[in-house]
Structure 1
Amino acid sequence: MTSLSGVFPVLPTPFTPDNQVDEAAFRRLIDFAVDSGVDGIVFPGMASEVETLSAAERGRMVAVLGVHLAGRLPFIVGASHADPVESAARAREGMAAGAVAAMIMAPPHAGQDVAKQAHFYAAVAEAAPGIAIMLQNAPAPNGAALSPEAVAAVAAAVPAIRYVKEETLPCGQHVTRILAAAGGTLDGVMGGAGARFVLDELARGANGTMPALELADAHAALWRAWKAGDRATARAIYRDTLPLLAFQMTFRVRATKEVLKRRGLLDHTGARAAGPRFDAGDLAEIGELIETARPTMTMHPPHA
């Protein structure tokens, strides 16, 4: 498998006005990601409202992604579950649709115990042979918030773990420590946390970022500039997008969907996830923040 690097946005799950999964809108988002110049796609993840999807809905959307993507980009399937048997089943479901890796969150129930974490991942790897695993290290309460050294130790114990998505704070320091502890045995460490710390992560050796989708074109341009050694352009893109990403930190998927709607990619912004909802002032503010980020947006979707 070719080493995975670059920008891998997590696709949101669009819903119809009657709260059903909207497959047509989902295909449009896939095309937007491809056309934006990103390096791959992730689905489902927390930004996909995965916790609200039934097993049937999740499986159907993974299949839709595989068929519609048709090999245009690699995709990573989200396969997190507290039960390694269920996690492996989700990984195999992704493999059947063409996924090249499975992103699996370090389970909180195993705590900081490296042996327990390694046992969990080894069980997944045994039940889903052939797929690379990305260990997602997320903050509590959703994740186990493993120390960087524990992440490297778990990965060393389970050869199927080839990548890490690091989202515990301070992300940049943790990227440095994971890479040092892993000693070159991993294929890469990617940043998460909505790309709010992306330049620090890249400066410390991260091989990519996994943000939400709404600024996929901006993040792809930032990555290209960084790889080309054009730090000034990368920082200018970061400067223009960060206020919107900070706003998104509070409203999460609702902010993502509102931006996508205003970019002409979604007709309906309904979300199942818990969390704050916009009032009139928030809707006015997000419009201002979109205008701040607009110089970084290279794509103008035909659906607009």
Structure 2
Amino acid sequence: MLLDNTAKGVFPIAPTPFHPDGRIDEASVDRMTDFYLECGSTGMTVLGVMGEAPKLEGGEALDLAKRFVKRASSIPVVVGVSAPGFAAMRALARASMDAGAAGVMIAPPNTLRTDDQIVTYYRQAVEAIGEDIPFVLQDFPLNFTVVMTPGVLRRIITENASCVMVKHEDWPGLEKISALRNFEKDGMRHVSILCGNGGAFLDFEVERGADGAMTGYAFPDMLVDLVKLSSSGQRDAAHDLFDAHLPLLRYEQQPVVGLAIRKYIMARRGIIASDAQRKPGAAMSATAKAEVEYLLSRVARHDARAKLAAA
């Protein structure tokens, strides 16, 4: 099951569940994967930015990827393989693909500054992992400080046939989606576009031509419904659902503490057993938890999935 340019829907970015003592919680890995399958996810992405990949040892990362792939056998799993050097990237990419992954995701190192440096980096990354491995180009300038213009993305897509998807996380980035789709009208090879940023702009991103989401909001089932509604032409219903979740979604987008919020809600929903992060990690204050509970009660007025038992 190889990833290709027809991918669409929702590929949740899976966090890595930990026990409070820092050990990987394998039972929660399985339960979370089952939840993603049950709510209609069309794929999964693991070892991404919100998966705390840099906190994992090399062997742990591969074992975790293998577990996700085996559990989610009916949908494609993309493995984040970004690394400071190409040797580590190649090793994780090849081993993940051998274990049944559908493709890999590559983010640019924050040392890249010029257009030519960016294009060259991706050419060399493909040479390192092999042209037979489909890859997702992660465009996330707010996190990696690497700005890719639509023209740079076109160069990378054109030069590397194994680039089948752009994970679009520019902000603001609606015009970039339109530019890429217009390039396709002018002859550029089609690629899938799945969007990140917690789904903060997903309502209009899909209308601009994105194929769905690759992100980690604590209600991925809402993202699945939103994409389906929008794709079927139910614009008002899609926006009504999005608007109901927007205050909570915005709250989860806070830098530094965002992962703690996401894990807290996922634990409250019973998707994972604990909201623990592997150190170092930001913790939520009692006040922040109370604010999240209030926001959940607000969302629950419109979406019963947010109506949770008392903490």
TM-score of the superposition, structure 2-length normalised? 0.89
| Structure 1 unmatched runs, 5+ | none
Q: Quick one: distance in 1 between partners of 2:145 and 2:220?
A: 25
Structure 1 residue ranges, 4+ long, deviating more than 6 angstroms after superposition: none
Code of the residue aligned with 1:14 in structure 2: it is: P
Code of the residue aligned with 2:54 in structure 1: it is: E
* SS at 2:79 equivalent: strand
Give 1:79's match in structure 2, choosing from 76, 81, 104. Answer: 81
Corresponding position: 1:206 with 2:210: yes
- Aligned-pair distance for 1:231? 0.9
Code of the residue aligned with 1:117 in structure 2: it is: I
- Aligned-pair distance for 1:26? 0.7
Give 1:290's match in structure 2, choosing from 273, 296, 303. Answer: 296
- Aligned-pair distance for 1:211? 1.6
Code of the residue aligned with 1:10 in structure 2: it is: I
Cα distance 1:172–1:254, how it changes in 2: closer, same or farther (>3 A)? Answer: same
Code of the residue aligned with 2:102 in structure 1: it is: V
- Size of the aligned set, in residue pairs, is 300
Tell me the equivalent position of 2:152. 150
Give 2:64's match in structure 1, choosing from 61, 66, 74. Answer: 61
* SS at 1:108 equivalent: coil
Tell me the equivalent position of 2:95. 93
Q: Quick one: distance in 2 between partners of 1:36 and 1:215?
A: 10
Corresponding position: 1:193 with 2:194: no
Tell me the equivalent position of 2:168. 166
Identity %: 26
Tell me the equivalent position of 1:26. 29
Q: How does 1:80-159 map to 2 (within 5 A)?
A: 80-114=82-116, 116-126=117-127, 127-140=129-142, 142-159=144-161
Corresponding position: 1:246 with 2:250: yes
Contact 2:157 2:163 in 1 (8 A): yes
Contact 1:10 1:211 in 2 (8 A): yes
| Structure 2 unmatched runs, 5+ | none
* SS at 1:106 equivalent: coil
Code of the residue aligned with 1:113 in structure 2: it is: D
Contact 1:261 1:267 in 2 (8 A): yes
Deviations 1:195-237 (A, max 9, x none): 0000121111111111205211111111111111111111111
Contact 2:103 2:135 in 1 (8 A): yes
Deviations 1:161-185 (A, max 9, x none): 1211111211212211233345441
Deviations 1:80-118 (A, max 9, x none): 12323322222212212222121111222232333x323
- Aligned-pair distance for 1:275? 5.6
Q: CA RMSD in A?
A: 2.2
TM-score of the superposition, structure 1-length normalised? 0.91
* SS at 2:118 equivalent: helix
Code of the residue aligned with 1:44 in structure 2: it is: L
* SS at 1:82 equivalent: coil
